[in-house]
Structure 1
């Protein structure tokens, strides 16, 4: 009877030791995953700040003016270039009248 009890106690100690080793392994693995996730979070935060700074730089008046001039072929307004809608309508009507002749 005493030998059987010792055998059961030995099994319980071995199983509890295996559970302890497994839980320590899981704790180390989870700690590593948390550390990686925090590093990724820091990297994403740095990227976010960099992108916000780039967006802010792209939205400056000078940058908008440069894009309008280069890509859209726009030019600065001057009194010599102003054409009102009435002038445009009259010019279009004159062009149609000249084409009809």
Structure 2
């Protein structure tokens, strides 16, 4: 009888120690989960703030202003437009004996040979 009581006492003590360990792990995991959730909320807020800043920085007016100030770019006018022609002799001869327009020539688009 004493042996059975002793075995039962040891089983109850082992069970109590295991219960304390499980509760400790549970509280630790809950604390970690709470920290992770607060970090996720902070990161979401930072992401939203950065998206707003990105949209504010990419406005067409601001981009044009930076292009003019930092890159010394200017708006295009017909007075400063330069057209470049391709004068290579890589044109092929058409079957009628005429010289065909070089490939990529926009003036030749829509014309049949």
TM-score of the pair, normalised by structure 1? 0.77
Q: Distance in 2 between matches of 1:26 and 1:84?
A: 74
Relative CO higher for 1 or 2, CA cutoff 8 Å, sep ≥ 6?
2
Partner of 1:82: 80
Residues 18-75 of structure 1 deviation map (CA, whole Å, 9 limit, x = unaligned): 0110011001000000000001100110111011111111110111111101111112
Which consecutive unaligned segments of at least 5 residues does structure 2 have? Answer: 85-113
Unaligned runs of 5+ in 1: 87-101
Structure 1 Cα separation of the partners of residues 82 and 20 of structure 2: 85
- How large is the RMSD of aligned CA atoms in angstroms? 1.9
TM-score norm. by structure 2 comes to 0.69
